[in-house]
Amino acid sequence: MLLELLDLDKKNLQARTELSKIYQRRKRYDEAEKILKELLAIEPDNIHGCTEFALMYKQWADYEKKNKRSTWWEKKQLYYKYIKESYRINPFNIPTLMELCAIFSTCRQYRAALKFLEKALTARDHDLETLRHLVLIHHTLNNESEVNRLLEKGRRWIQEQPFIKYKERFQALDLSCAPHKILVQLNNTGTFSGPGRAKTSSPGSSPVILCGAGRFDLMEKYTAHNRIEDGDTVFFATYRVGVGVDEKIYADFIEPYFEDPADLAVNY
């Protein structure tokens, strides 16, 4: 039916967006890409088309990575390109802001992620999903007073609006179930030492971060980034993990998805 609609109206942008979603669900990414390219050729600054383009490349990259295809990284870069373009078109578009929050959270750049979430709340007040993400990041940063304030705000919204969207998801938030991991310090600079890509199990072969006299095991025991090699300078955070005699300080470095974090040049 959507194809018939496009035959009648070649410039129907909504039909193109919906058709691309159908192609994506069927893993027909080449056809989804073609439809969205046509959409942006008609209206280059269409925020819905540009955001959909970004999300399509994100899904396509995940699919190719899962199937061990080397082209997944190229699709990932296109995802970043179109998310940046979406932000340029409309810096208050909620889906774009949530994607940017996820990117910076993954890169451990929590303060930037918070800026995007706060902007999202100004664009759409009383949004429990945005508030839930704010709670999780402040919990990671050990800002417990802010966590309690945000939780109370969410409960107040639910009392005022019993049928508010994302109510169940917000109420299911249980921070006590999180691993006993406490942030010690952000934005350390150190040197990566050891094998880069492969997970390793032999003694002494796991990678570490060297910082002054400190030597920190990686929390995940390996680097997920395919360009970090032995001797590279990395930015990392330290976390205290465990309780009592099992307590230990681990490094969890920022995974630099971009050649340079400044590549995502956004004015937040």
On whether the CB atoms of residues 35 and 58 are closer than 8 A, the answer is no
Residues 169 and 151 in one domain: yes
Residues 75 and 39 in one domain: yes
Q: Is residue 97 domain-resident?
A: no
Residues 248 and 212 in one domain: yes
Q: How many residues does the chain have?
A: 268
Identity of the amino acid at 8:
L
What's the confidence (pLDDT) of residue 72? 92
Burial class (CB in 10 A: 0-12, 13-18, 19+), 176: exposed
**Stated pTM of the model:** 0.69
On whether the CB atoms of residues 75 and 60 are closer than 8 A, the answer is yes
User: How far, in Å, CA of 197 to CA of 217, rounded?
Assistant: 15
Cα 232 to Cα 63, 189, 193, 263: the distances in Å are: 29, 11, 8, 19
Which among 263, 254, 227, 267 has a CA at the least distance from the CA of 80?
263
Q: Is residue 96 domain-resident?
A: no
What's the confidence (pLDDT) of residue 244? 76
3-state secondary structure of 172: coil
User: How far, in Å, CA of 161 to CA of 165, rounded?
Assistant: 9
Query: End-to-end distance of the chain based on CA atoms, in angstroms?
Result: 42
Residues 173 and 185 in one domain: no
User: How far, in Å, CA of 83 to CA of 97, rounded?
Assistant: 9
User: How far, in Å, CA of 197 to CA of 255, rounded?
Assistant: 13
CATH code of 114's domain: 1.25.40
Residues 188 and 112 in one domain: no
Tokens of 240: 């205290």
| φ/ψ of residue 191, rounded to 5 | -120, 130
Q: Is residue 109 domain-resident?
A: yes
Q: Which regions of the chain are under pLDDT 70?
A: 1-12, 108, 177-181, 187, 195-205, 220-227, 253-268
Q: Is residue 267 domain-resident?
A: no
Residues 17 and 53 in one domain: yes
Q: Is residue 168 domain-resident?
A: yes
Residues 7 and 52 in one domain: yes
What's the confidence (pLDDT) of residue 61? 94
DSSP element (H, E) containing 15: helix 13-25
What's the confidence (pLDDT) of residue 208? 86
DSSP element (H, E) containing 162: none
DSSP element (H, E) containing 136: helix 128-140
Token pair 């350390």 is found at 188
Pair type for strands 214-217 and 233-241: unpaired
Tens of pLDDT, residues 28-44: 999 999 989 988 999 99
| φ/ψ of residue 138, rounded to 5 | -65, -30
Tens of pLDDT, residues 105-149: 877 677 788 889 999 999 888 999 999 999 988 887 778 899 999
Residues 185 and 255 in one domain: yes
Average model confidence (pLDDT) across the chain: 80
Q: Is residue 266 domain-resident?
A: no
On whether the CB atoms of residues 137 and 117 are closer than 8 A, the answer is yes
Count the domains in the chain: 3
Which among 206, 258, 203 has a CA at the least distance from the CA of 235?
258
Q: Is residue 79 domain-resident?
A: yes
Pair type for strands 181-193 and 248-253: unpaired
Residues 121 and 173 in one domain: yes
> Could you list the residue range(s) of the whole structural domain that residue 154 is in?
102-177
